[in-house]
Structure 1
Amino acid sequence: MSGSRGMSGDRDTDRYRTLTRRMLVLGGLKVGLLSTLAGRLYYLQVLQSQKYTMLAEENRISLRLIAPSRGPIVDRFGVPLAVNQQNYRVVVTAERTKSMPETLDKIAQIVPLTDADRRRVMRELHRKRRFVPVTVRENLTWEQVATIEMNIPDLPGASIDVGEIRYYPFGEATAHILGYVGAVSESELNGDPVLSLPGFRIGKSGLEKHHEKSLRGTAGTSQLEVNAVGRVIRELSRDEGQPGREVQLTIDIGLQQFAQQRLSKEQSAACVVMDVHTGAIYALASHPSYDPNQFTMGISAELWEDLLSNPTTPLSNKAVAGQYPPGSTFKMVTALAALESGIVNKSFSVFCPGHYDFGDHRFHCWKKGGHGTVDMVGALRHSCDTFFYEVSRRIGIDRISEMGKRLGMGQPSGLDLPHERPGVMPSTEWKKATIGKSWAQGETLIASIGQGYVLATPLQLATMSCRLANGGHAVKPHLTKQIKGGPHETTVWPSIGVKKDHLDVIIRGMTEVVNAPNGTAFKARITEAGFEMAGKTGSAQVRRISMAERNTGVKKNEDLPWRERDHALFVAFAPVHAPRYAIGVIVEHGGGGSTAAAPIARDILLECQKRDPGRSAVADVTPGAPDGPRG
């Protein structure tokens, strides 16, 4: 018995020892696990606390961009030309309505909705979360907003939102200068996150496009507290960012409206009014025009097709992109080139029998019976073609081309407006490089009177007039006076390198064109004392006149279809005694420059001078002072 108890005690002792070891092992494992857990918690909560706090905040806080307010555009006197207006829009939140089609039907009873509007809304609903509002219609009237607000209980999910929309107070009068804004296309995305904002718009043409960076401003930010699914709970902070900068132009909106209205009496026309000393553009008009406000919200396909198919091309800015044979307005270039060459002097004269024979070709003067003997001033006064045929034969095309370039022809001026075209100022080298053929002498005669290959824009014609009237300084046209907060520059224009006495001959000829009784533009002269202008008429053929027609009598423009009539041109400056303003006018298929273009230039130059506050007689008239330093 005692032996049995001894053996039993030993077994109990062994079991106890085994159990103790197991407990120690398990205890050690527990301690180890607890230590690891404590270490991990210490690592996460102490050592990595900043990192995970930031991650948690990022999950809770959403940072969103706020579109900046676009900078205004004003005229030289601060009159707003492009501004931002409140844009009331009706939006619908999908999660707050049981049936989106029913809600849209009810909204359509207040605000007209097209099938395209409905398709767009349904398309956006499938791309966005149900709690994100979708725009149904923008640019609502105050009456529409009030009606929707009154009927909100019957419009589940609908609400009114307020944003900004670009507005052009003077519409068609400034369309070709300002351009318009539109939605950002995929090709215009450049990594700037503000361009991806819903409804964000950028400059698509005109100065809106040219000054896009200055006008756009800097986006703001909004910190929003959101829940796990992204729903906004509250706004924590807000930074409005920086609005776009104000752009001030050289344009006088009163003169601009007057010019646009004056051109509207023609089927298609354009003009440019410049300061002869600074190059500031006071008016730049192209008719017909369009309403840029229609583009702001997205133009309809029907209206877009109408604009594109219009034969008078209302979308084209003819003042800077229309290239036309300058006709006889180019004769000052030929005359000045001849004087500067030394081959011809101011006393040189030519007998005009009504034609000029060169080789086996006969070149006709516009006056069938001829002008008799004329000198340079007389040739300009009468616009005698024969005189310039002879002069150009003596000096050659290259001298004419070089002078044309000095006066601003055949090259872009660098105007701060997109889509300016360079025109064409031909030379022997130009024809060889462009057409691959040698220059023919007969082409020189045609070019000398602004026909053939010669092409110019109304802007270039106005620039040429400036450089002739200001004593031969190479002013360049510009539309921007200054950008708020930017540098203010003063430009000193270089000389084009011509002699004053040669310019005096040209100025005298232009003065007699308008003010001499037998001048080609005498009937279109300014009769008010102190306001007189000097100028040059021009007509550019757009069809070939056959010899048979010449023998039987050239058809009058009024007897021809509109498309076959001559272009009418006129260039001028005023006042004659102290030149300050220059103008270039084109009336497409208008016939004669003396009857169609010259009266337009007269009316606009007279209005321009009367708007000058420097004249005490018109001190009570809305001002249109010279620009001063370029900015």
Structure 2
Amino acid sequence: MYPFRFKIIFVFFVLFFICIVVRLFQLQIIESDKYKGISKTRRIATYPLDSTRGSIFDRNGKTLAIDQHAFDISVHYKNLLYCSITRTKKTIPRITELEVHKKTKKLCRDCHENQEIWLKKLSQLLDIPQTKLLEYTDEAIEKVEKLKQNMERKYGRAIRIKEETDFYPVVSDVAWEKIIQIETKQDDFPGIRITPRPERIYPEQTLASHILGYLGKLTEDEWKFQSNNWSNFILASSAADNETPSLLYDGYAENDTIGRTGIEAYYEDELHGLRGKKFEEITCKNTQIEKTVLERPPIPGNNLYLTLDSQIQTYAEKSLGTNLGAIIVMNPWTGEILAMASNPRFNPNTIQKDFRKLIEHPSKPFLNRAIQGALPPGSIFKVITAAAALSSNAITTQTTFECPGYLKYKNILFKCWSEYGHGFVTIEDAIPHSCNVFFFETAKNLGGDTLYAWAKKFGIGEMTGIDLPHEKAGNMPKLATIASTMNVSIGQGALLTTPLQLVRAYAAIANGGTLVHPHILLKITDPQGETVQTFQPKNKQKLSLSPDVINILRTSLQDVVTRGTAKDKGLDIYKVAGKTGTAETGRHKDNHAWFIGYAPYDKPEYCFVILVEHTPGHGGDIAGPIARELMSYLFPEINHAS
């Protein structure tokens, strides 16, 4: 029985094998010409589909950056080539040397009249002169022909390169009404392709431009780098058995844009998205699309919600006015940046047009002074000196020094800002009246190593880790001599700080001794609006400040407003606690004016810093009124009550 069954199975497999061989013979020998013809006349063309970049919103959902679709009209290379030849009388050697061209007596226009239809139709529809439409063809033709020559020289034979089958843009930002007319009458516009292109829009113009940043085209090196990253991503996805069909998506295109500064740059990977692909079957003879074989839609980028409050940001920028400088408003408990103004600003909508003018401007509009402006802090650093001295018992609340208006140390004369001095001063008077001599004497007791260590604890000379690119660390110098320690104790010398470092340090006094992590991101959502990530602070640090020291500092900062260097500036009604600062630049009547503080002092809601660069005035006179205007915006209910 079994041998018989085996014979049946064997016969079945033999017949099956014979059928396969016969079919292969039919396809490859008998019908070979048929399929060769099909393969020669038809090709599968792949076209990228641009992804939409993720939007950026403020904490209340107000749109700060969004992609809108713009439409370009592109023309197939063959149409561009022959249209340019017939119109401009230019000769292309590889075409004129063909036998068919040598034998014919016809003009190019007679043979290739159909290649001009797009030009006539498009000119009529868009009301653009034909010569204007042809302006963009020369660069594309020169590029393709040069590449073709190089490839044929390399391989020693005629080669059809991919670039000959591409479409090249001739008109940008075409009105939607015109696009509809072309799409509904495609037969009237042969060789034309509508190319949707995402265009980045910043609805609020210059608002928070340093925070948002701007986009720029990839350089050749950057594109190679991104291409390598994409290749590595595909390999990693394959190794991890990722179900995403990466071959159906693309990373960056050669002429793609990328975030250059601000949030656009820092969160580029979240915002960019994945480009899709369209696979089309085309007829090689006339490059007509037969059908779409497969279309994989692009994946939009994720959306970002920022900690910024657009209204407070507007207030901050208005308060700063035309002054060269910066304002930061931060939540002292969470580190959320509610506003970060830097002036001068730029408009990211017109960055391509204005870039050269902006980059060469002496006031450096691209500089985010809030995180990149490293300057001497002046007297607002005295609070850190006081915290270090009180915590290390170098002084107490009973320690008294006499201020005659100067202090002579060895052969160096250290001056107080008050020519006549402040008399006998304790720490509780030294901070409100900003007595230099008191802090010179304190520095001698404190020593350079201790002051350096405490400044580092407060984050001075260190990057805060904010989620913005290009933050500066400033400089907290090693204090090898008593003289240098005395100079730094009042915020001068080689000491350089950023406004963000200082507002973070004062927030620690406002919140009871915690050094928070400043940040701009609130959360990330996917295109469907689902939250995929919320910001997680990384480096909150508890400073070793006793409650007694914190209370002394807080009381002294309140006194600055009520009886000290910020008296009569209109800040007391808002319960502001703060410190003025005037940092000398070394040039006559050229200072950096500071005011830093928090409000209300009994239950802080906001911690803020104001910087005005290169002004002849002092901190209280210049930055004080700006602080008053900012407070009037932040606490409108107090304005009405008063």
**TM score, norm. by length of structure 1:** 0.76
Q: How many residues align?
A: 536
Aligned to 2:427: 376
Aligned to 2:272: 216
Aligned to 1:281: 337
What are the superposed Cα offsets for residues 97-145 of structure 1, whole Å, 9 maximum, x if unpaired?
Answer: 6544785996794799799967645556656756633123433566997
Q: Rg bigger for which structure?
A: 1
Cα distance, 1:76 vs structure 2: 0.4
C-alpha change, 1:61 and 1:422, in structure 2 (3 Å) is same
Cα distance, 1:151 vs structure 2: 13
Asked if 1:179 is matched to 2:220, the reply is no
Q: Is contact 1:381-1:512 (8 Å) kept?
A: yes
Aligned to 2:557: 510
Aligned to 1:292: 348
- Of 226, 236, 251, the residue aligned with 2:282 is 226
Q: Is contact 1:538-1:593 (8 Å) kept?
A: yes
Question: What letter corresponds to residue 357 of structure 1 in structure 2?
Answer: K
**Cα distance in structure 1, aligned partners of 2:140 and 2:485:** 63
Which residues of structure 2 form unaligned runs of 5+? 1-17, 29-34, 89-118, 148-161, 232-249, 526-530
C-alpha change, 1:46 and 1:96, in structure 2 (3 Å) is closer
Asked if 1:85 is matched to 2:68, the reply is yes
Cα distance, 1:71 vs structure 2: 0.9
Asked if 1:307 is matched to 2:358, the reply is yes
Question: What letter corresponds to residue 320 of structure 2 in structure 1?
Answer: L
Q: Is contact 1:110-1:148 (8 Å) kept?
A: no
Asked if 1:523 is matched to 2:568, the reply is yes
Aligned to 1:596: 622
Cα distance, 1:605 vs structure 2: 3.5
C-alpha change, 1:331 and 1:143, in structure 2 (3 Å) is farther
SS of 1:522's partner is: coil
Aligned to 1:390: 441
Cα distance, 1:362 vs structure 2: 0.8
Question: What letter corresponds to residue 79 of structure 1 in structure 2?
Answer: K
Question: What letter corresponds to residue 521 of structure 2 in structure 1?
Answer: T
**Cα distance in structure 2, aligned partners of 1:39 and 1:381:** 98
C-alpha change, 1:396 and 1:114, in structure 2 (3 Å) is farther
Asked if 1:607 is matched to 2:633, the reply is yes
Asked if 1:163 is matched to 2:214, the reply is no
Equivalences for 1:419-434 in 2 at 5 Å? 419-428=470-479
Aligned to 2:32: none
**Cα distance in structure 1, aligned partners of 2:327 and 2:548:** 29
CA RMSD in angstroms, aligned pairs only = 3.7
**Cα distance in structure 1, aligned partners of 2:290 and 2:128:** 33
C-alpha change, 1:87 and 1:39, in structure 2 (3 Å) is closer
**Cα distance in structure 1, aligned partners of 2:137 and 2:400:** 76
Cα distance, 1:339 vs structure 2: 0.1
Q: Is contact 1:425-1:455 (8 Å) kept?
A: yes
Question: What letter corresponds to residue 586 of structure 2 in structure 1?
Answer: R
SS of 2:281's partner is: strand
**Cα distance in structure 2, aligned partners of 1:162 and 1:124:** 23
Cα distance, 1:218 vs structure 2: 2.5
Asked if 1:542 is matched to 2:567, the reply is no
C-alpha change, 1:372 and 1:150, in structure 2 (3 Å) is farther
Which residues of structure 1 form unaligned runs of 5+? 1-36, 48-52, 429-438, 545-554, 558-564, 619-631
What are the superposed Cα offsets for residues 487-515 of structure 1, whole Å, 9 maximum, x if unpaired?
Answer: 44665944111111101111111111112
**Cα distance in structure 1, aligned partners of 2:306 and 2:380:** 29
**Cα distance in structure 1, aligned partners of 2:274 and 2:575:** 50
Asked if 1:201 is matched to 2:257, the reply is yes
Q: Is contact 2:77-2:165 (8 Å) kept?
A: yes
What are the superposed Cα offsets for residues 562-606 of structure 1, whole Å, 9 maximum, x if unpaired?
Answer: xxx111111110111111211112111123111222222332244
Aligned to 1:575: 600
**Cα distance in structure 2, aligned partners of 1:408 and 1:113:** 59
Equivalences for 1:111-150 in 2 at 5 Å? 120-123=139-142, 126=145, 129=163, 132-140=166-174
Question: What letter corresponds to residue 214 of structure 2 in structure 1?
Answer: Y
**Cα distance in structure 2, aligned partners of 1:419 and 1:113:** 42
Cα distance, 1:241 vs structure 2: 3.5
Aligned to 1:459: 500
Asked if 1:242 is matched to 2:299, the reply is yes
SS of 2:69's partner is: strand
Question: What letter corresponds to residue 575 of structure 1 in structure 2?
Answer: P
Question: What letter corresponds to residue 322 of structure 2 in structure 1?
Answer: K
**Cα distance in structure 2, aligned partners of 1:581 and 1:164:** 38
Cα distance, 1:373 vs structure 2: 1.3
Cα distance, 1:310 vs structure 2: 1.3
